[in-house]
Copies of this chain bind each other. A is one copy, B any other.
Amino acid sequence: MDIHNKTEEQVKFLRCIGEATRLRILKYIIDEEKCVTDIVNAVGKEQSLVSHHLKYLKDCNIVIARQKAQKTYYSLSHHRLAGIIIQSESLVKELPICQEKKCND
């Protein structure tokens, strides 16, 4: 129908969750809000990098931030997000992604 129905936004969303550090963050906060320091420890990346990714996720409305004193707690913005994450995870187990071909990892 129109030029970019909703595909652009869907792409933005999938890109958002389709990055290793961000996906780890999302999985870590999937059922309970967590503060940045805990997230940093969980994903094992630099604090500034984690903050950049959290900003990215927040700007895409995938997570919400709650300020409490000096700490900021992040959680998923929508319960259905957990569903997508879990379903794609289980799909990948069935789908032999890069099992046979010349994949470099």
Contact = CB atoms under 8 A, between A and B. Distances in A.
Interface residues of A, number: 45
Q: How many copies does the complex hold?
A: 2
Contacts of A13: 18, 88, 91-92, 95, 97
Interface string A1-25: 0000011111111111111100110
Contacts of A60: 97-98
B62 A10 contact: no
Interface stretch (A34-42, A46-54, A67-75, A76-84): A76-84
Nearest to A27: B7
A87 to B, nearest CB: 6
Given A8-B105, A10-B88, A20-B7, A95 B83 contact: no
